[in-house]
Structure 1
Amino acid sequence: RRTASWNGICLMSIEERKTIVNKLIHGAKYRFRVYAENKYWRSEPCETVETILIQSPSVVKDN
């Protein structure tokens, strides 16, 4: 298992439920973690259980 480094991706408001992560490498595997933070406190991170394989995006055509 390789040693991973964690990089910040984005900051989101509490109203946002999803985000787009750009510049990921096709065919690579990633793990993500999320935490809550405000001016008083930062939670422990919630981490993905399994790695996520980056594949080509699916295209859905409108009928």
Structure 2
Amino acid sequence: MGTFSVWHLAIVVGVVVLLFGSKKLPEVARSLGKSARILKSEAAAMKAENGKPEETPPPPSRPAS
């Protein structure tokens, strides 16, 4: 009960083709690829941004007692 067989994959592919149609599938795949590339570049930008030390202002000076 936790594994997928070839029949499961065939049924899923059949349902997807019925829902979107064979002419629409390349367009859907193209848009998914673009979205994945954008997500990957944004994640890399966030990692680079978080890797830099944050600029914190110096602590306020206290008068000597």
- What is the TM-score with the length of structure 1 in the denominator? 0.17
**Per residue, is there more strand in 1 or in 2?**
1
Which structure has the greater CA radius of gyration? Answer: 2
Bigger RCO of structures 1 and 2 (CA < 8 A, at least 6 apart): 1
TM-score, structure 2 as length reference: 0.16
Structure in which a larger fraction of residues adopt helix: 2
